[in-house]
A and B are shown apart, each in its own frame.
Chain A
Amino acid sequence: MTRTPNTTTPAKFTALCILFCCLFCTSAQAQEIVVGSKKFTESVVLGEVLSHIGRSVNASVTHRRELGGTRVLWNALIAGDIDLYPDYTGTLSREILAEENLRDEADIRARLAEMGLVMSRPLGFNNTYVLGMVETRAEALGIRTISDLKKHPDLKLGFGNEFMDRGDGWPSLQNRYVLPHQNVSGLDHDLAYRGLESGTIDVMDMYSTDAEIQYYGLRSLVDDLQHFPIYNAVIVYRVDLIDRAPQVVREILKLEGLISEKKMMVMNAQVKLEKKPEAQVAADFLAKNLNVQVKIKKETAGARFWRHTWDHLTLVGISLFGAIVVSIPLGIVAFRWARGGQIILGLVGIIQTIPSLALLVFMIPLLGIGGAPAIVALFLYSLLPIVRNTYAGLHDIPVGIRESAAALGLSDGAQLRLVTLPMASRSILAGIKTSAVINVGTATLGALIGAGGYGQPILTGIRLDDIGLILQGAVPAALLALIVQGLFELFERVFVSRGLQLKGEINA
Chain B
Amino acid sequence: MFEVTGVSKTFGDLQALREVDLSVHPEQTTVLIGPSGCGKSTMIRLMVGLVWPDEGTVTYKGQMLTPANVLSLRQKMGYVIQEGGLFPHLTARKNVALMANYLGWAADRIDARIETLATLTHFPADGLDRFPGELSGGQQQRVGLMRALMLDPDVLLLDEPLGALDPMIRADLQSDLRSIFQTLGKTVVMVTHDMGEAGFFGDQIVLMREGEIVQIGSLKNLIQNPAHKFVTQFIHAQRSPLESMAPGDIAK
Please list the residues of chain A having a beta carbon within 8 angstroms of any beta carbon in chain B: 400-401, 403-411, 414, 418-419, 422-423, 425, 496-500, 502-506, 508
6 pairs from A and B in contact (CB 8 Å cutoff): A407-B77, A408-B74, A409-B75, A410-B102, A418-B102, A506-B140
Q: Quick one: given A408-B74, A408-B98, A422-B89, are A502 and B134 in contact (CB under 8 Å)?
A: yes
Q: Let me know if A499 and B77 touch, CB within 8 A.
A: no
Q: Answer yes or no: B48 CB below 8 A from chain A CBs.
A: yes
Taking CB atoms, residues of chain B closer than 8 Å to A403 are: 45, 50, 81, 85
A103–B79 Cα distance when bound, in Å, is 83
Q: Quick one: given A403-B81, A404-B81, A505-B133, are A419 and B102 in contact (CB under 8 Å)?
A: no
Q: Let me know if A400 and B98 touch, CB within 8 A.
A: no
Q: Let me know if A407 and B133 touch, CB within 8 A.
A: no
Summed over the interface, the residue pairs from A and B with CB atoms below 8 Å come to a total of: 89
Taking CB atoms, residues of chain B closer than 8 Å to A508 are: 82-83, 85
Q: How far is the CB of B151 from chain A (nearest CB, A)?
A: 8
Q: Let me know if A410 and B99 touch, CB within 8 A.
A: yes
Taking CB atoms, residues of chain B closer than 8 Å to A410 are: 71, 98-99, 102
Q: Let me know if B83 and A506 touch, CB within 8 A.
A: yes
Q: Quick one: given A411-B71, A506-B83, are A499 and B102 in contact (CB under 8 Å)?
A: no
Q: How far is the CB of B48 from chain A (nearest CB, A)?
A: 5
Q: Answer yes or no: B90 CB below 8 A from chain A CBs.
A: yes
A414–B102 Cα distance when bound, in Å, is 8
Q: How far is the CB of A246 from chain B (nearest CB, A)?
A: 68
Q: Answer yes or no: B88 CB below 8 A from chain A CBs.
A: yes
Q: Let me know if A504 and B134 touch, CB within 8 A.
A: yes
Q: Let me know if B48 and A419 touch, CB within 8 A.
A: no
Interface SS, A side: helix
Taking CB atoms, residues of chain B closer than 8 Å to A408 are: 74-75, 79, 98-99, 147
Q: Answer yes or no: B72 CB below 8 A from chain A CBs.
A: yes
With beta carbons under 8 angstroms apart, the residue of B71, B82, B91 that contacts A409 is B71
Chain B stretch 88-126: residues in CB contact (< 8 A) with chain A: 88-91, 98-99, 102
Q: How far is the CB of B74 from chain A (nearest CB, A)?
A: 4
With beta carbons under 8 angstroms apart, the residue of B77, B90, B98 that contacts A497 is B90
Q: Let me know if A404 and B133 touch, CB within 8 A.
A: no
Q: Let me know if B50 and A400 touch, CB within 8 A.
A: no
Taking CB atoms, residues of chain A closer than 8 Å to B87 are: 401, 404-405, 419, 422-423
Q: Which 4 pairs of residues, A with B, have the shortest CB-CB distance?
A: A404-B85, A499-B131, A502-B133, A409-B74
Q: Let me know if B133 and A503 touch, CB within 8 A.
A: yes
Taking CB atoms, residues of chain A closer than 8 Å to B82 are: 400, 508
Q: Let me know if A499 and B98 touch, CB within 8 A.
A: no
Q: Let me know if A506 and B86 touch, CB within 8 A.
A: yes
Q: Let me know if B72 and A409 touch, CB within 8 A.
A: yes
Taking CB atoms, residues of chain A closer than 8 Å to B48 are: 407
Q: How far is the CB of A367 from chain B (nearest CB, A)?
A: 41
Q: How far is the CB of A92 from chain B (nearest CB, A)?
A: 62
By beta carbon, the residue of chain B nearest A405 is B87
By beta carbon, the residue of chain B nearest A417 is B102
Q: Let me know if A499 and B81 touch, CB within 8 A.
A: no
Q: How far is the CB of A347 from chain B (nearest CB, A)?
A: 29
Q: Let me know if B99 and A505 touch, CB within 8 A.
A: no
With beta carbons under 8 angstroms apart, the residue of A407, A499, A502, A504 that contacts B90 is A499
Q: Answer yes or no: B39 CB below 8 A from chain A CBs.
A: no
Taking CB atoms, residues of chain A closer than 8 Å to B50 are: 403, 406-407
By beta carbon, the residue of chain B nearest A496 is B89
Q: Let me know if A504 and B71 touch, CB within 8 A.
A: no
Taking CB atoms, residues of chain A closer than 8 Å to B88 are: 401, 423, 497, 499-500, 502, 505-506
Q: Let me know if B131 and A498 touch, CB within 8 A.
A: yes
Chain B stretch 35-59: residues in CB contact (< 8 A) with chain A: 45, 48, 50
Q: Answer yes or no: B34 CB below 8 A from chain A CBs.
A: no
A414–B84 Cα distance when bound, in Å, is 20
A422–B75 Cα distance when bound, in Å, is 22
A213–B210 Cα distance when bound, in Å, is 87
Q: Let me know if B133 and A499 touch, CB within 8 A.
A: yes
Q: How far is the CB of B204 from chain A (nearest CB, A)?
A: 23
A419–B94 Cα distance when bound, in Å, is 11
Taking CB atoms, residues of chain A closer than 8 Å to B133 are: 499, 502-506
Q: Quick one: given A404-B81, A406-B50, are A418 and B74 in contact (CB under 8 Å)?
A: no
By beta carbon, the residue of chain B nearest A503 is B133
What are the interface flags for B142-153 relative to A under an 8 Å C-beta threshold, 1 for contact and 0 otherwise?
001001000000
Q: Answer yes or no: B132 CB below 8 A from chain A CBs.
A: yes
Q: Let me know if B91 and A499 touch, CB within 8 A.
A: yes
Taking CB atoms, residues of chain B closer than 8 Å to A423 are: 87-89
By beta carbon, the residue of chain B nearest A502 is B133
A405–B72 Cα distance when bound, in Å, is 14
With beta carbons under 8 angstroms apart, the residue of A400, A406, A418, A497 that contacts B83 is A400
Taking CB atoms, residues of chain B closer than 8 Å to A505 are: 88, 133
